[in-house]
Chains A and B, each alone.
Chain A
Amino acid sequence: MTTETADRAEAAAGVAPAADAGFLQRYGATIEYILIPGAALVGALAVFGMFVALFGKNPLDLYFYMYQGAFGTWFSWQNTLTRAAPLILTALCTALPAQLGMVIIGGEGALLIGALSATSVALAMPWAPPLVVQIAMVCAGVIGGGLWITLSGALRQYRGVNETISSLLLVYIGLAILNHLVEGMMRDPASLNKPSTREIGAANMIGSIPGTDVHWGLVFGLIAAFASYILIYHTVFGFSARVAGGNIRAARIVGLGVNKLILTICFLAGGAAGLAGMVEVAAVQGRTNANLAAGYGFTGILVAFLARHNPLAIIPVAILLGGISASGGLLQRRLGLPDASVLVLQGIIFVFVLASDALYGRIGFLKGKT
């Protein structure tokens, strides 16, 4: 990537007028990072518009309702941000290990285990003041989810088990454990037709950001994303991780503790997803039950890949996907489209954005006309 950027800058400097060259040299790469995904998005929306036109719907209506449902009103914005909040956290579960070249797709499992741990801790300390309970829940969620993904990392390092598969299998196992406990040992006898744990209590709920309906999970997500960005790009630890991600052998040669790196990153990744689980309990459900398996972990994988595993890029991508799912309801109600249209649209956007990766460094005016 670095050599390409240099090539591009060189080409720009050689041909274009000096002032422009300086501008492009400095910002060419940034412009690309905005322009190319933007164009891919427009292309995907155009294809999706054609798709619905095949079924006799007016694409202009489609775009209008998508805008209205996702960003058209203050309510729509809150709807979008609420849906984006867990996605930022679960996306980190895939994006962080990706720095080391690992593909972890088990965020959903870490979310469930995080939620279960956080609930257990809250139920175990009914005497404690809310703030203490909440802090304990955050810790439990992070540790529970963190250890769950660390298990995948450890199996890879110490047993050679592929982390993609183990993390996926752990999702199903985590869900089975959750269901088993919620319908058995941890069941609140009063939760009749929806087997659930006991409630953590209204006082222990973390509530919404003042002035909005968006819960604090959004703030947690933003903090986690910024912290991850600083960790990966501005610390020695992050530098080592990126080196190891580029070449494990090289990392070993320069004396990096690869095992420690992998386990730490896995812990942080799982911790982020576990935190998402804690937020679902403490801000939304108030207890643990099967409703927590709502697929946030799986959508998070999509967010991470679309954001090219950049912790900061995860934020706008999560908001975009939150917006799509927020507007999905309006598409069903106004245009009579089935719920699956959201999946189709996500798939098309994803395909376009991925295919557009091929364009980097190849856009004529950004590298000057040669």
Chain B
Amino acid sequence: MADGSIGLWTVPLAVFGGAIRVSTPFLFVSLGECITERSGRINLGLEGTLVMGAMSAYGISYLSGSPWLGVLAAGITGALLGALHAGICSLPRVNDIAVGIALMLFGTGLAFYLGKPLIEPTAARLPAIDFGWWSDVPQVRAALRINVLFLIGVALAPILYWAFKTTRWGLLIRTAGESSDAARAMGHSVLAIRLRATMVGGFLSGIGGSFLSLFYPGSWNEGLSSGQGITAVALVIFARWDPMLCLWASLAFGGAAALGPALQSVGVTSGYHLFNAAPYILTLAIMIITCSPKRTLTGAPAELSITR
């Protein structure tokens, strides 16, 4: 490998690197949505939250010079959009799926509207930690330049898993999601629980967006998300509301997104459109294999409008 090429090893390395690089937005959005859906609400608007988060993070990072301030701004923006979703859904007879679609449009539109002057400037970017110092292969080192947000996301998955199982808050959220009557009987306001769960979900999704604009691909433009938010919401149902499965699913999706370009780079050139659709084909295939009409959506919160 005197010429610096690693030949066919590019493909597994790209899938591995892609799993780290591309998965983070999926991970944050799906974990956020996991919390929201466990409380009995579905927020389809996280695509809008993701894009809005990406735009506001980039804008604040550009204006303040601090990318971490940008991440915080993205989280707050996301939480506000979450509060809006929860607020409208708490009105009687309002369909949460429809509100989600509305906020998807609103968030995306607002981000595009406000983001026009941000396309050209370059904002301060989030730093990466070099985990590849041990390797002499530059490709490996590049794949192992990992952003802290990814690590936070990876850590968050088991924490959430544990929190749902053992903490009081986890129990409350699950109760609100399984039976609002039971939560009420315990003396808690279901609406207040769902408000908080949706805001936290929005907060995490906003941070997922900040990763897009401040780390990878690492700039703001209108094609940035290309549906990653809505795919991540789909991932939650695919992952059966289990944070750990959300983590694995996000990693798989990230890796699959890298597959198309990597295969082309080693000479597999025909049908690249089909390879680019690999994440979607894969998800559908896995769902067809793992689902069963007899145990429809095990793990689904009973109060969720799509499962009722």
Contacts and interface: CB of A to CB of B under 8 A. Distances in A.
Q: Do chains A and B touch in the complex (CB under 8 A)?
A: yes
B109 A168 contact: no
Contacts of B287: 155, 159, 161-162, 165-166
Contacts of B91: 355, 357-358
B41 to A, nearest CB: 14
Contacts of A348: 106
A281 B274 CA distance: 23
Interface string A338-353: 1111111111101100
A162 B95 CA distance: 18
B166 to A, nearest CB: 29
A165 B109 contact: no
A250 interface: no
Interface string B70-103: 0000000000000010001001111101110111
Interface residues of B, number: 49
B105 A347 contact: yes
Nearest to B113: A340
Contacts of B105: 302, 343, 346-347, 350
A101 B283 CA distance: 24
Nearest to B308: A101
Contacts of A168: 230, 234
Contacts of A176: 273-274, 276-277, 280
Nearest to B275: A176
A179 B294 CA distance: 37
Q: Determine chain B's interface SS by DSSP, over half rule.
A: helix
Contact of B293 (A159, A343, A354): A159
A180 interface: yes
A145 to B, nearest CB: 18
A17 interface: no
Interface in B100-117: 101-113, 116
Contacts of A346: 105-106, 109
A154 to B, nearest CB: 10
Contacts of B230: 168
A173 interface: yes
A301 B101 CA distance: 8
B237 interface: yes
A233 interface: no
Contacts of B234: 164-165, 168-169
Given A157-B293, A161-B291, A162-B297, A354 B99 contact: yes
B116 A351 contact: no
A356 B274 CA distance: 43
B306 A103 contact: yes
Q: Determine chain A's interface SS by DSSP, over half rule.
A: helix
A354 B100 CA distance: 11
Nearest to A4: B93
Chain A CB within 10 Å, residue with most, of B111, B274, B284: B284
A350 B103 CA distance: 8
A100 interface: no
A103 B93 contact: no
Contacts of A342: 109
Contacts of A103: 97, 306
Contact of B277 (A172, A341, A360): A172
Contacts of A338: 112-113, 116
A159 B294 CA distance: 8
A347 B109 contact: yes
B135 interface: no
Contacts of A183: 273
A127 interface: no
B113 A341 contact: yes
A39 to B, nearest CB: 15
A160 B290 CA distance: 9
A158 interface: yes
A344 B273 contact: no
Contacts of B291: 159-162
B277 A173 contact: yes
A351 B288 contact: no
Given A165-B234, A165-B238, A351 B306 contact: no
Nearest to B279: A172
Contacts of A180: 271, 273-274
Nearest to B114: A340
Interface in B255-308: 271, 273-274, 276-277, 280-281, 283-284, 287-288, 291-297, 306
B280 A159 contact: no
Contacts of B274: 176-177, 180
A160 B306 CA distance: 13
Given A302-B105, A357-B93, A358-B93, A158 B273 contact: no
A305 interface: yes
Given A344-B106, A348-B106, A160 B293 contact: yes
Given A162-B287, A357-B91, 18 more contacts: A157-B293, A159-B288, A172-B227, A176-B274, A177-B274, A179-B273, A302-B101, A305-B98, A340-B110, A346-B105, A347-B109, A347-B110, A350-B98, A350-B102, A354-B99, A355-B91, A355-B94, A360-B93
8 shortest interchain CB distances as A-B pairs: A347-B106, A343-B109, A340-B112, A176-B277, A350-B102, A358-B91, A344-B109, A347-B105
24 contacts: A159-B291, A160-B291, A160-B292, A162-B297, A164-B237, A165-B234, A166-B287, A169-B284, A180-B274, A305-B95, A338-B116, A340-B109, A340-B116, A343-B109, A346-B106, A347-B48, A347-B110, A350-B106, A351-B84, A351-B106, A354-B88, A354-B94, A355-B88, A357-B92
